[in-house]
Amino acid sequence: MANTYEVGDRVKIEVDDLPYAGTVITYDDNNYKVSVDGLGKVVSAEETDLTPLS
């Protein structure tokens, strides 16, 4: 069962810089393109075929 993100959720994004719009993360073997604010709060998220840059 895949987990999904909802607006307001917080996610752990392992990058050195602050998260930015369009960051792609992998969560439970699914990739998500997320937009978050400076505190790591999810503004939006959608499943994507893109893969993380890291």
- Determine the pLDDT at residue 18: 46
Which residue range forms the structural domain that includes residue 30? 1-54
Nearest to 43 by CA among 33, 28, 29, 30: 33
Could you give the number of structural domains in the chain? 1
Would you say the pTM of this structure is higher than 0.85? no
The answer, yes or no, to whether residue 52 has pLDDT greater than 60, is yes
Quick one: pLDDT at residue 24?
Answer: 67
| CA dist., res. 21 & res. 24, Å (int) | 9
CB contact set of 47 (below 8 Å; sequence gap of 6+): 4, 30, 31, 32
pLDDT digits (tens, 9 = 90+) for 6-51: 555 666 554 444 445 456 666 667 777 777 766 666 677 777 776 6
